[in-house]
Structure 1
Amino acid sequence: MIDKQRNPRALAVDVLVKVNKGAYSNIELKNIIADSQLSQLDINLLTEIVYGVIQHKLTLDYFLSPFVEGKKVQDWVHQLLLTAVFQMVYLDRVPTRAIFNESIEIAKTEGHSGIRAFVTGVLHAMQRKGFPELDAIKDQKNYRSVKYSVAPWIIKELDAQLGESKTNRILASINQPARQAARINTQKITQVQAVDYLNAHEYKVIPSEVAEDGIVVSNGSVARSELFQNGSLTVQDESAMLVAEAMQLESGMTVLDACAAPGGKTTHIAQQVGENGHVLALDLHPKKVALIRTNAKRMGLNTQVEAKALDARKIDLLAEDNSFDRILVDAPCSGIGLIRRKPEIRYEKALTDSEKLHKIQLEILNAVAAKVKNNGIITYSTCTILKQENENTMTDFLKLHPEFELIQTSTKKQLKSSRTTPYLNIYPDDFESDGFFIACLQKRA
């Protein structure tokens, strides 16, 4: 019998079953780890298996299907077999014997003798016959979908918008591990000080080549560091750090962050407007508003951050026209740019989601448009790479609001400075960071 609280493979199956029912992988992993008795080594294996199985799901199902075809398999057994296939295909360092022994023991503990025998038979058949070749898939669209484990509609849209070559580079990149990045709180520490401190405390850290205040951590969890606990840094992807950089913020400004949770961009804005500035941070959900306040307090920025629960489309209830120097609309989106970090997105979303979100994005922009001062700037950002939610939203907004014009989106490190568009597209293969879209709209006097 296995002790599940000490067994990363058994816990991985539990997480995957819950994710298959609609739970978020990052939240389930966090909860399972907190309740377990795992060593750091086993936590790493658990995390690798969970994200690996979700990331490569279509590929793994293709490899597994000949061995379970025509058989009715319970979901937890299916997830158990997928974890075994993932380890066999992608984890060279794990001996096949260990994979088989652990998987069979889990089947024995969680099920009955018939399930144990079934799992044993499937595992040995896979070892004996080998997995089917991907080249056997003759339909090119289906081949790429299975190879990269991405829903066909996403590939079709990216092909149409970016071309097949760029799409293939993006698809290859999103199956690489996500980099761990953090942003320095410049009110408390410099980037050099943070890099030196973390490197002296068993982390491996380099300055970001993408964002001015960013660092990249390749060893250890930076969220457990002393610098995180005392508010000297916060965990944030490098692409997300570019949003506040693009806003052209100055000390003392009044800023509206219209869709603010969990507060990463809010605190970045607060750093730059300083103690004399003010940031009104809105979110629809009270629990998420509490998270914004917690993050601001941890970083010592709570005096300039005011967080309220409100749908940004109802901003008239809180603010007069011409109230803000800057407005950020980090809009609700499909999150296609986050596929590397949140792999379940690639299966859960549909093209109709982007079309519905486009309407919501436009409603938010329309609601806040009058609230920015003359010559002020609305910065619009998303963590998706689809034109339906990015360029198309900008085009439709400008048709309705000729008083605004698109101005050049600039970052501190002048990323993609030779591009021909005023807005900035960051794709997952560009800098190994999340996919992002950033546009700046200036209101004419």
Structure 2
Amino acid sequence: MTIDNARSLAVESLTRVANGAYSNLQLDKTIAHSDLNDADRRLLTNLVYGTIQHRLTLDYYLRSFVKPGEKLEPWVENVLLVALYQMLYLDRIPNRAIFNEAIQYAKDHGHEGIRRFVTGVLHAIDREGVPDVAKISDPLKRLSVTYSMPEWLVTRLSDQLGEDKTVSILETINQPAAQSVRVNTAVTTKTEAKAELEIAGFSVEESQVAGAGLRLDGQPASRSELFNQGQMTIQDESAMLPVEALQIQPGDQVLDACAAPGGKTTQIAAALDPNQGGQVTALDLHDKKVKLIARNAARLQVADRVNAMALDARKVDQKFANQTFDKILVDAPCSGIGLIRRKPEIRYDKTPEDSQHLQTIQLAILDAVSRKLKRNGLLVYSTCTILDTENADVVAQFLATHDNFESVRVTTTKNVKADRDTDTLAIYPDDFDTDGFFVSALRRKN
């Protein structure tokens, strides 16, 4: 297919995302069902993620050229937003090519009135230029529009971290995410995996963050023989830290309370020895996701130490009335704000009420599973968000109502953020160019 087809596929993908599809899954599906060459795949990926990442900014510009209150069909709006993104953020594509493709798409998918409308808007933008965001008088709105982040999130982060740190995070999350993998230490070593990946043509860097982590460049990690053979799996570097914080011993009985799709389950399993009785029990609400955990465990050759089952973590007492665990991981359901770089549409889907509602669920899970921890055992609570509502506030509320638990300092293989003054570990997207994550370690008193 040609570059022009990549633009058309971008519009179609964005329209499906607007109707509820996840951007990463939709993009993978679109690429899998096309015969785009590498250059066009990169362009398609850039157009989809770039347009979503900058959507509030692009929409602010677009509204200056549309009648007040005029509602556009989603696909028409996406035609214009994709064109606008290329005009403003990509410097190697001439406006003529951008305009021709957008107008042709409008002609092919709409009536003559839509074609004329798209043509008129694009030429007006080209003639007049877009509004200057710096002239927005309200500082909160200016940050929101500049970095395409909803105002409530800008406010929340500014209150937590201050404006300078917030701006640093906002600048980072609109950059492409790095590709990282976790070496499966159950079957190989990091040194061996690194050498094989370099022979296969990958550019490989050691992770600054995670003990078993590597950063790859050059081609998708899923194309590697090491991935196909289960010697590594795709996982963000910061997502590896909760399991490191568990300090797994080979014979531990571990509960992974919110386990799907199984990345952390298999990381736990890699540190266990079934000959010493080591096992991880992995829970998820849905049978379909439990099967996914089992498939991942089989691919990574650790199925002999993984017991995956469908169960609401809030009901563990019903299933494990007479059983306790040495270690428990609660990688809790959360707003996912730390994943914005990989799932940029998250920022537009979430509300403050969502975060508050999730806090209630998180506390309920912690309360339930905490009763299943052995004395002197370790419970690690983690999320992939950067909001205190779901992080530090949850830990504080749990400790306030569970005097048989105490906070202990999170330790990781590479001693990440060694100079921090908190027991908990918060990783922000601008710290190491990774996903945002929060990790807390709670010990049951002896």
Partner residue, 2:123: 124
Offset, 1:370: 1.2
Q: Is the 8 A contact 1:322 1:373 kept in 2?
A: no
C-alpha separation between the residues in 2 aligned to 1:135 and 1:5?
A: 33
Give the equivalent residue in structure 1 for 2:241: 242
Q: What is residue 203 of structure 2 aligned with on the other side?
A: 204
Change over 3 Å in CA distance of 1:322–1:441 after alignment to 2: farther
**Which amino acid in 2 is paired with 1:196?**
A
Tell me whether 184-193 or 47-56 shows the greater mean CA deviation: 184-193
What is the rounded CA distance, in whole Å, between the counterparts of 1:182 and 1:411 in structure 2? Answer: 17
> What TM-score results when the alignment is normalised by the length of structure 1?
0.97
Structure 2 residue identity aligned to 1:67: F
Structure 1 residues 61, 302: closer, same or farther in 2, change over 3 A?
A: same
Partner of 2:62: 64
- What SS does the aligned partner of 1:67 have? coil
What is the deviation of 1:5?
11
Deviation at 1:6, TM superposition (A): 8.1
Deviations 1:387-417 (A, max 9, x none): 1111111111112211110001011111111
Aligned equivalent of 2:271: 272
Listed one character per residue, the Cα deviations across residues 9-39 of structure 1 (whole Å, up to 9, x for unaligned) are: 1111111111112221112112222222222
Query: Could you tell me whether the CA contact under 8 Å between 2:2 and 2:40 is conserved in 1?
Result: no
Native 8 Å contact 1:6 1:37 kept in 2:
no
Distance across 1 between alignment mates of 2:244 and 2:24: 27
Deviation of residue 123 (structure 1)?
Answer: 1.4
Post-superposition shift, 1:221?
0.3
SS in 1 for 2:307: strand
Whether the 8 Å contact between 2:2 and 2:36 is mirrored in structure 1 is: no
Stretches of structure 2 that go unaligned for 5 or more consecutive residues are none
**1:361-406, CA deviations, whole angstroms, 9 ceiling, x for partnerless residues?**
0100110111111111000000111111111111111122111100
1:237-278 deviation per Cα after TM superposition (whole angstroms, max 9, x unaligned): 000011111111111111000000010000000001133310
AA aligned opposite 1:143: R
How much is the aligned-residue C-alpha RMSD, in angstroms?
1.5
- Secondary structure at the counterpart of residue 343 of structure 1: coil
- For residues 6 and 130 of structure 1, the distance between their equivalents in structure 2, rounded to whole angstroms, comes to 24
Residues in 2 aligned to 1:332 and 1:73: alpha-carbon distance in whole angstroms: 34
Letter in 2 for 1:41: A
Pairing of 1:17-32 with structure 2 (within 5 A):
17-32=15-30
Give the alignment of 1:156-167 within 5 angstroms: 156-167=155-166
Q: Report the count of equivalent residues.
A: 443
* Match in the other structure for 1:223: 222
Partner of 2:413: helix, strand, or coil? coil
Instruction: List per-residue Cα deviations over 1:172-222 (Å, max 9, x = no partner).
Output: 111111111100001222212222222222221111111110001122100
Q: Is the 8 A contact 1:185 1:299 kept in 2?
A: yes
Structure 1: how far apart are the matches of 2:273 and 2:50? 42
Runs of 4+ aligned residues of structure 1 deviating over 6 Å after TM superposition are 3-6
For the residue of structure 2 that corresponds to 1:94, the secondary structure is coil
Retained in 2: the 8 A contact 1:280–1:305?
yes
Q: Which residue of 2 aligns with 1:345?
A: 346
Tell whether 2:53 aligns with 1:55: yes
What is the deviation of 1:4?
9.8
Match of 1:110 in 2: 109
What code does the residue aligned with 1:45 have? L
- Whole-angstrom distance in 1 between the partners of 2:16 and 2:431: 33
**SS of the residue 1:206 aligns to:** strand
CA contact (8 A) 1:379 1:439 kept: yes
Identity of aligned residues (%): 53
Contact 1:373/1:443, CA 8 A, preserved across alignment: yes
| Shift in CA distance, 58/190, structure 1 to aligned 2, threshold 3 Å | same
Q: 2:10 aligns with which of 12, 26, 29?
A: 12
1:40 aligns with 2:41: no
CA apart distance, 1:78:
0.5
Q: Which residue of 1 aligns with 2:416?
A: 415
The one-letter code of the counterpart of 1:425 is A
Partner AA of 1:161 in structure 2: Q
Is the 1:321–1:372 Cα contact (8 Å) retained in structure 2? no
For 2:428, the equivalent position in structure 1 comes to: 427
Matches of 1:279 and 1:82 in 2, distance apart? 47
Q: 2:93 matched to which residue of 1? A: 94
Q: Which residue of 1 aligns with 2:173?
A: 174
Residue 193 (structure 2) pairs with residue 194 (structure 1): yes
AA in 2 matched with 1:17: T
Q: What letter corresponds to residue 88 of structure 1 in structure 2?
A: M
Contact 2:3–2:43 (8 Å) recurs in 1: no
Cα contact 1:5–1:37 (8 A) shared by 2: no
Where do 5+ consecutive residues of structure 1 fail to align? none
Give the superposition deviation at 1:113.
2.2
- Tell me the residue number matched to 1:135: 134
Structure 1 residues 271, 144: closer, same or farther in 2, change over 3 A?
Answer: same
Alignment-derived partner of residue 82 in structure 1: 81
CA distance in structure 1 between the aligned counterparts of 2:99 and 2:430, rounded to whole angstroms = 36
Is the 8 Å Cα contact of residues 67 and 126 (structure 1) preserved in structure 2? yes
